[in-house]
């Protein structure tokens, strides 16, 4: 099994992403093939991982996914990699709620038998840093905390004091440090992040982070710790990569034959997709093709279904509004019954309009009777378990799936709005999404691997639409 390590922290904002991408690039400089993972539901940090490693990063989540599925995601992602670096989420023990470790980095590390390097902000501390680490060790002694890196130290002398305090009280090694360094601050994580990464604008920051890691962290010892990761049991019933002759859930799969083509919006406005969502669609027989609404591209003619993921349509609303031909194309296809799934940014795009933060109201596709308005504050954040109110494109009435919400906008809907789900989170249950005919949309980002029947049904709906369209052409 591939060597692997978890980079976690005592809290959010302690420097996990900076250390993670610096470590990834430093290891890559040694000629190692580095595979990135992100604990929890996050699309932004994996894009940094890709910039640092050149490999697609993947999410590991112990609440949205069954343990066997999470292991499979790890094992598949580590194919031909030398080492995996898993970036934690929030603090080590922060997860779905305040009384358990469910969904936390700690639970993920235990399930995946992966040693944890704990990142501690040691600013204005010496011996007290040992008390912090000791508390993390004692909260759940089975969590494999194997080492510490200290951030925000004022000098090498300060680091030596913190190191001595932690190692004497906690019995684990301190592997290195990062000095206070304003040059390494991660830029704003939303406006134009993806194109900035694609243009290579973040490379100097990533290279500098690698320099700092090489200067202050004992990489040889860290690699030795990564090699102590435990063996994982094999996945007995894989979700992905069925063999040519395998039959699953009533679908016979042939690797050389696509059953239907699903067009996926992929550009500056729409780029939040779990890789496994697309791969499950492929597993059930879909061919994935991409197009760019923001750049004026219509849905490809070969498409039998449409998938519009999340992203930042509000930042490019003017461009989207200007491409009237694209909006008309999408609206007409949906009105003709093309199976369409849209989430968060895609949901916003399909409404009547978006009002951006400057107060401009711009027309969108207009197939969903609602208007979106951007807010100054976060409107929703957290895990969601959705239960279908009626039969929908992906879920039958009463069936559930898991995902998360994260958005700064609100939608004003009409009376008798056909909500798709009851969405359950920490603050209770609320109606969410829109479902009508072959259209399903909502704010919630669903993970298809939480209920693989969703991917199966999406492909089946695309096949039916393809067959019906061909039948209509033949009749003419």
State the DSSP string of 297-314. PPPPTT-SEEEE-EE-GG
Q: Let me know whether 70 and 35 are in one domain.
A: yes
Report how far residue 64's alpha carbon sits from residue 167's, in angstroms, rounded to the nearest whole number.
36
Q: Where is the domain boundary, 194, 226, 258?
A: 226
Distant-in-sequence, close-in-space partners of 139: CB < 8 Å, separation ≥ 6:
93
CATH number at residue 188: 3.40.50.300
pLDDT at 264 over 60: yes
Chain centroid to CA 365: how far? Answer: 26
- Identify whether the C-beta of residue 306 lies closer than 8 Å to the C-beta of residue 347: no
Coil, strand, or helix at residue 182?
helix
| Confidence grade of residue 402 (pLDDT, cut at 50, 70, 90) | very high
DSSP string, 375-437: -SS--EEEEEEEEESS--SS--TT-EEEEEEEESEEEEE-TT----EEEEETTEEEEE-EEET
Question: Rounded to an integer, what distance in angstroms lies between the CA atom of residue 441 and that of residue 345?
Answer: 10
Quick one: tokens of 236? 């007995």
> In terms of domains, do 187 and 292 share one?
no
Q: Helix or strand or coil: residue 465?
A: helix
pLDDT of 240? 85
What is the predicted pLDDT for the residue at 470?
Answer: 80
177 Cβ contact partners less than 8 Å away, ≥ 6 residues apart: 122, 149, 150, 151, 153, 156, 159, 162, 163, 216, 217
How do residues 131-173 score in pLDDT, each as one tens digit?
Answer: 999 999 999 999 999 999 999 999 999 999 999 999 999 999 9
Residues 263 and 214 in one domain: no
Looking at the fold, whether 214 and 153 belong to one and the same domain comes out as: yes
SS3 98: coil
Residue-wise pLDDT tens digits, 355-365: 998 999 999 99
Whether residues 47 and 187 share a domain: the answer is: yes
Q: Provide the number of structural domains found in the chain.
A: 2
- Domain-located, residue 113: yes
Contact 158, 122 (CB under 8 A): yes
Please tell me whether residues 195 and 269 are part of one structural domain. Answer: no
Domain annotation covers residue 242: no
- The pTM score is 0.92
Per-residue tokens: 267? 């550009």
Domain that holds residue 18: 3-226
* Maximal C-alpha separation, the chain: 83
Look at strands 305-308 and 260-265 and give their pairing. parallel
Please check whether residues 205 and 271 belong to one and the same domain: no
| C-alpha distances in Å from residue 74, one per residue of 148, 189, 276, 345 | 24, 25, 11, 28
* Contact in structure between 417 and 357 (CB atoms under 8 Å): no
Helix (H, G, I), strand (E, B) or coil at 85: strand
**Tens of pLDDT along 26-61?**
999 999 999 999 999 999 899 999 999 999 999 999
Residue 107 pLDDT greater than 90, yes or no? yes
Backbone angles phi, psi at 9, to 5 degrees: -150, 170
Q: Is the pLDDT of residue 207 over 80?
A: yes
Burial environment of residue 237 by CB neighbours within 10 A (0 to 12, 13 to 18, 19 or more): exposed
Residues annotated catalytic, as ranges: 344
**What is the dihedral angle through the alpha carbons of 271, 274, 278, 283, rounded to the nearest 10 degrees?**
170
The pLDDT score that the predictor gives to residue 199 is 62
For the stretch 320-354, pLDDT in tens is 999 999 999 999 999 999 999 999 999 999 999 99
Residue 150 lies in a domain: yes
| pLDDT band with cut points at 50, 70 and 90 for residue 469 | confident
219 and 252 both lie in a single domain: no
Residue 237 covered by a domain = no
Residue 76 clears pLDDT 80, i.e. is over it: yes
111 and 209 inside one domain:
yes
Residues 102 and 132 placed together within one structural domain of the fold: yes
For the segment 243-255, the average pLDDT, to the nearest whole number, is 39
Q: Is 351 helix (H, G, I), strand (E, B) or coil?
A: strand
Residue 239 domain-assigned (yes or no): no
Task: Kindly state the percentage of the chain with pLDDT values over 70.
Answer: 92
Q: What is the rounded CA–CA span in Å between residue 25 and residue 205?
A: 11
Domain boundary among 179, 194, 226: 226
Q: Which of 48, 434, 80 lies closest to 209, judged by CA?
A: 48
Q: What is the CATH classification number for the domain harbouring 330?
A: 3.40.50.880
Which among 303, 268, 310 is positioned nearest to 289, based on CA atoms?
303
The overall average pLDDT reported for the chain is 92
Q: Are residues 279 and 221 in the same domain?
A: no
Rounded CA-CA distance 266/290 in Å is 6
Residue 57 in domain: yes
Asked if the structure places residue 240 within a domain, the reply is: no
In terms of domains, do 105 and 151 share one?
Answer: yes
Indicate whether 235 belongs to any domain. no
């Amino acid at each position: 099994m591939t060597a692997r390590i978890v980079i976690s922290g005592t809290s959010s904002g302690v420097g996990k992403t900076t250390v993670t991408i610096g470590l990834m690039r430093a290891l890559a400089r040694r000629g190692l093939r580095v595979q990135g993972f992100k604990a929890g539901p996050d699309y932004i940090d994996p894009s940094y991982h890709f910039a640092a490693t050149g490999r697609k990063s993947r999410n590991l989540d112990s609440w949205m996914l069954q343990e066997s599925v999470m292991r499979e995601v790890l094992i598949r992602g580590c194919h031909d990699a030398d080492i995996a670096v898993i970036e934690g989420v929030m603090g080590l023990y922060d997860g779905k709620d305040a009384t358990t470790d469910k969904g936390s980095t700690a639970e993920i590390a235990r399930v995946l038998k992966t040693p944890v390097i704990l990142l501690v902000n040691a600013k204005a501390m010496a011996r007290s840093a040992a008390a912090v680490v000791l508390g993390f060790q004692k909260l759940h002694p089975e969590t494999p905390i194997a080492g510490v890196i200290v951030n925000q130290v004022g000098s090498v002398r300060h680091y030596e004091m913190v190191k001595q305090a932690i190692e004497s009280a906690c019995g684990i090694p301190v592997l290195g440090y990062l000095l206070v360094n304003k040059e390494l601050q991660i830029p704003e994580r939303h406006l134009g992040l993806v194109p900035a990464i694609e243009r290579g604008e973040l490379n100097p920051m990533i290279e500098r982070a690698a320099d700092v890691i090489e200067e202050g962290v004992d990489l040889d010892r860290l690699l030795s710790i990564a090699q102590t990761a435990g063996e994982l049991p094999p996945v007995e019933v894989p979700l992905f990569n069925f063999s040519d002759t395998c039959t699953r859930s009533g679908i016979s799969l042939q690797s050389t034959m696509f059953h239907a083509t699903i067009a996926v919006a992929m550009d500056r406005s729409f780029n939040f997709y779990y890789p496994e969502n697309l791969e499950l669609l492929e597993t059930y027989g879909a061919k994935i093709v991409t197009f760019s609404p923001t750049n004026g591209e219509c849905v490809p003619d070969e498409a039998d279904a449409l998938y519009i993921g999340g992203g930042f349509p509000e930042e490019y609303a003017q461009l989207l509004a200007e491409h009237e031909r694209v909006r008309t194309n999408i609206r007409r296809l949906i009105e003709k019954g093309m199976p369409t799934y849209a989430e968060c940014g895609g949901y916003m795009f399909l409404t009547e309009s978006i009002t951006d933060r400057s107060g401009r109201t711009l027309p969108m596709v207009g197939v969903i009777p609602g208007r979106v308005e951007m807010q100054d504050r976060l409107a929703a954040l957290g895990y969601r378990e959705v239960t279908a109110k009626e039969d929908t494109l992906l879920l039958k009435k009463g069936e559930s799936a898991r995902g998360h919400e994260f958005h700064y906008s609100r939608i004003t809907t009409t009376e008798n709005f056909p909500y798709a789900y009851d969405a359950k989170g920490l603050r209770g249950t609320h109606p969410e999404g829109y479902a009508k005919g072959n259209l399903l949309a909502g704010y919630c980002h669903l993970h298809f691997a939480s209920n693989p029947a969703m991917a199966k049904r999406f492909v089946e709906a695309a096949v039916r639409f393809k067959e019906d369209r061909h039948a209509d052409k033949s009749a003419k």
